[in-house]
Amino acid sequence: MNNIKTTVDENESKVLGIKKIALVSCYLDDGDYGTILNDSFIEEFVCNEDHFYHRIAKSLSLQGLEPVVIYPSIIKQTKTFQHKYGHSIIRIPAKKIPFFHEPIVYSPELVKKIKEFDICHFVSGYYIMYKVPDLFDYCVSKIHNKIPIITRWAGGNSKWLFPIRKAIKKNALQKCDRIICSGKDETNILETKFEIPKNKIKFLMNPIDLSIFQKREKIEICKKLNHDPKFNYILYVGRLVENKGIENILNAFKKILSEHNDVKLIFIGSGPLELKIKEFIEINQLHDSILFKGQMTHNEICYYYNIASILINATVNSGGLPNVIIEAIASGVPVIATDFGAARDFVNEKKHTGILIKNYDSKSIELAISKILNNEFSSNFDHKLLEKFSFIEFGKELIKIYEKEKARF
């Protein structure tokens, strides 16, 4: 395991008694990965991925703290694993009761475990059970006023909330000591829909590794990856799931391919739609034009940004700021993104970072791709703005939040 060397004195990490940080996901198994979190999946996949939960943990470890990422699961055995960054992962049992089309999820074991820590930080962000109380609401109700509660809010469509559900969500959010947002839309929703005071909201982005996500020469990296530099590579990075607009990306690419013979589409990621993508490739005989790379680490993915002409993130009705957007911007790649959530704060033609599409249909994607390929778009972003996304700077900002809230207890 690659244990992380801390950058602060051991005594500094114990300011105000802060040492152990619970980074809690409120998703139950398939909410995160589309599969049950059994031992082999956690050991082979979760412990080796670069998901932002673990990047947050790495940022805290670099500040001398002891973060633990906690995943609830229907598996009845509590078990501890170790992530490649060095921090612990705990899988903990949760109960699921069928209730109409959404189950009620709760976990006394999770609440008990959270109380062992100095800070509870809910990292999942999307609290989208629209009709029944979710695991986030349950946990907050049990630990309120017992431990500082920090939560990440990444939106979701609040319009879908039933009135009673909205009241429950509002109550849970108001009990949190600090709420971290990644965009203006999320901040506005918290203030107007849930009546959260401004002084409880903190704008803070997830950290990325700027030492690997950076500009490099395309020809040099194409040689490294054994790809032809004459092609324009259109890149998709992320989970292969329904709400990512993958079908629209495929249809748009097929149309683009009929007009440009120098383009290829690269998929990096895994998920339930993997088979559908492979079927599309087979039916349309696009084996040479659509490249499927599967799951990769950040140390591998970073080079594909360097050969890409475009990154597409056509996520449907999702809040927050997808990490891949910042990774692409850091790598100097124009982004095509849905005009939703925090994406609009970072992706636009005025800032020379990419093109926002109002609709996530295949025609809108096709037109945006054509505009970039036809040299109607210039990329010239001020990369100094990305320094605040580094592991060190993120960790420092998070500790300030923890210290301020811990002082209230």
Q: What is the pLDDT of residues 143-176, one digit of tens each?
A: 999 999 999 988 666 665 667 778 888 899 999 9
Whether 213 is covered by a domain: the verdict is no
Shared-domain flag, residues 380 and 401: no
Residue 314 phi, psi (nearest 5) = -100, 45
Query: pLDDT tens-digit profile of 242-293?
Result: 888 999 999 999 999 999 999 999 999 988 899 999 999 999 999 999 999 9
Whether 273 is covered by a domain: the verdict is yes
Shared-domain flag, residues 321 and 370: yes
- Domain count of the fold of the chain: 2
Q: Are 51 and 237 in contact (CB under 8 A)?
A: no
Shared-domain flag, residues 249 and 381: yes
Whether 35 is covered by a domain: the verdict is yes
| pLDDT for the residue numbered 319 | 61
3-class DSSP assignment, residue 171: helix
| pLDDT for the residue numbered 233 | 98
Range ranked top by mean pLDDT from 179-193, 281-295, 347-361: 281-295
| pLDDT for the residue numbered 7 | 47
Q: How confident is the model at residue 205 (pLDDT cuts 50, 70, 90)?
A: confident
Pairing, β 308-313 against β 335-338:
parallel
Buried-state track 346-359, b at ≥16 Cβ within 10 A, e below 16: bbbeeeebbbbbee
Q: Going along 220-374, which residue ranges are E strands? A: 232-237, 263-268, 290-294, 308-313, 335-338, 354-357
| pLDDT for the residue numbered 403 | 95
Shared-domain flag, residues 112 and 134: yes
Helices 163-174/135-143 angle, 10° precision: 40
* Percentage, residues of the chain above pLDDT 70: 88
Helices (H), 258-406: 274-283, 298-307, 323-330, 343-346, 362-373, 391-406
- The arithmetic mean of pLDDT across residues 48-60, rounded, is 94
Shared-domain flag, residues 23 and 38: yes
| Cα 85 → chain centroid | 17
Shared-domain flag, residues 380 and 394: no
Q: What is the DSSP letter of 290?
A: E
224/388: higher pLDDT: 224
* Percentage, residues of the chain above pLDDT 90: 61
Whether 71 is covered by a domain: the verdict is yes
Shared-domain flag, residues 261 and 311: yes
| pLDDT for the residue numbered 98 | 82
| pLDDT for the residue numbered 8 | 47
pLDDT at 102 over 50: yes
| pLDDT for the residue numbered 254 | 96
Shared-domain flag, residues 96 and 225: no
| pLDDT for the residue numbered 5 | 47
Amino acid at 236: Y
Amino acid at 185: D
Whether 287 is covered by a domain: the verdict is yes
Amino acid at 389: F
Shared-domain flag, residues 239 and 168: no
Q: Which of these, 71, 88, 90, 89, lies nearest to 28 by C-alpha position?
A: 71
| pLDDT for the residue numbered 179 | 96
DSSP bridge pairs for 237: 268
pLDDT at 362 over 70: yes
Shared-domain flag, residues 58 and 121: yes
Instruction: Show the domain range for 346.
Output: 218-387
pLDDT at 33 over 60: yes
Report the CATH number that the domain containing residue 141 is assigned in CATH.
3.40.50.2000
| pLDDT for the residue numbered 9 | 47
Q: How confident is the model at residue 132 (pLDDT cuts 50, 70, 90)?
A: low
Amino acid at 27: Y
DSSP 32-66: TSSS---HHHHHHTGGG---HHHHHHHHHHTTT-E
Shared-domain flag, residues 191 and 239: no
Whether 4 is covered by a domain: the verdict is no
Whether 321 is covered by a domain: the verdict is yes
pLDDT at 22 over 90: yes
Shared-domain flag, residues 201 and 96: yes
pLDDT at 198 over 80: yes
The reported pTM is: 0.84
pLDDT at 83 over 50: yes
Q: How confident is the model at residue 315 (pLDDT cuts 50, 70, 90)?
A: confident
Whether 212 is covered by a domain: the verdict is no
